[in-house]
A and B are shown apart, each in its own frame.
Chain A
Amino acid sequence: MRIVVCVKHVPDLQAERAFTEQGWVDRTQGDGTLNELDENAVEAALAVAEELGGEVTVLTVGPQDAEDAVRRGLQMGADHAVHVLDDAIAGSDAFGTAAVLAAALRALAGQEPVDLVITGMAALDGLMSVVPTLVAAELGIAQLTLAAELTVTEGSVRVRRELDHATEVLEAPLPALVSVTDQSNQPRYPNFKGIMAARKKPVTTWSLDNLGVDPQRVGAAGARTRVVEATPRPPRENRVLVTDDGEAGVQLAAYLVENRLV
């Protein structure tokens, strides 16, 4: 079983996050991390490989710092890492990112067939949740997204997913793409052994040229939207903080009525 996990490097949620003047996510703060939700994807892949045998490759598309994301994947236990790094990728929209990921996945499959692609449910910077479906579309493989539960056998994959109005169980033959939710597992922490072992694992770096991707298709050049303004939300005004003296419920009701919220 050969599994590739797509992982993204994102600004730390707990840190001050910002946009650059161009309206791109500011990645210069130096406190980026592996997207938390991609830890679930790495965990899912490791669990399958441990059960059925096989190898796990972590794949990222991003600037120099993004190498930290695949390093973290290696520390958790992944076997190989690929980092697609190219200045032309900066400013990519979801289509650009998906096109590069798909090209890298094709290149990996060219070396040795890939059975399963696993992604997180969303990158916690843009929170779009669309890259997985776009990658599956580019590759023409089945998508089983938002898996809360995942079962893989030699030839097929089955997921349970909880949607807004229903719960579904889907099954597909491999190869397929699965995105997993934070419900699907509890990601492991890298242990000392894992951290030491990761030091010896190389990270393969590919450029767009290596992948045969036209730079015009990706990056700011290929983006179909442009941020014209990025502004921090102004603090809420007229905020009220009261301590309950036995009447706070009554006061709250009055506030809601006064502000026409009931």
Chain B
Amino acid sequence: MMRVSLLKRLTVISALLALILALAVGLGISIGSTGNYLKEVLAALFKGQPADSVLATIIWQIRLPRVILAFLVGAALSLGGLVFQALLRNPLAEPYILGISGGSAIGAIGGIILGFSYFPGVGLLSFAGSIATLALLLFMSSGQTVLKKDSLLLSGVMVNAFCAAVIMFLVSLTRDSRLHNIIFWLMGDLSMADTKQVGLLALALVPCFLTVFWLSNRMNLLLLGQETAQSLGVNIKFTTLALLITTSFMVSGTVSFCGLIGFVGLVMPHLLRLFIGPDHRILVPACILGGGAYLVLCDLLARTLPGQGEMPAGVVTALIGAPLFIYLLKRSRK
């Protein structure tokens, strides 16, 4: 009985979010700086390739990889937020706020300055950076069975400040023209997506998504408290470690591709929990689809807002996310 209703809920919610995602992707590939091609995209969907080859290049080779990248990054980051919120039992936990994104950015920038290629050099250093900040964070708040809201956030703020300083230090050490790129990249830039790289990222992220989905029921049990979870047969150490490493891997993957995109992991899990409730077996796929759609739309906004060229997607997500963070913090204090 329980299983059936769960499956039904999962299907309905996933289908709904998939529809929203499809709409977001459709808009994402239809709208851009050279014009809006809604009709052409629809025609292409039903009749195959559009006749105009320039249009085809713009839609399929420039906009589509970018939209897919936005989906992957949005999905990974909101999943990251969801996992951290469950593991640390803290509604305000999120890779960016905790400083884990910052740590992997240090690794990635180090890699760029040393002249490594994106894969594997920059990616690996970025992963090392995120694991190191995570370890630092856990060490700072160790000894507490439940990581208290404020102490964890304070640790995160400090880790973030430290990372920002290290990044500025590294940037001011380099005197070459890559500096421009680093600063733009830091704000979360999705514009460099090419089909090969996006494929590579998908290859790295999709197994992570599956792993988190596989562990989603244990996340539910962990939320009941460690003792209860243990008595229900959950291997706490393994589960926690697997989730933390998977999440750090996802976060460092996205950071080394497109820099720091903050607050996605805060906005989506909260929004979805509001509608769906606290069951992670549904929340995990919902976060993947919804978080992906959210970043696709944020990026669409970022590249169509009038201005001197396009702005990084991280600007838009922070403009939306930071006020929400303050609201949630205020509410959680009541």
A and B interact physically:
no
Identify the A interface with B (CB < 8 A): none
Identify the B interface with A (CB < 8 A): none
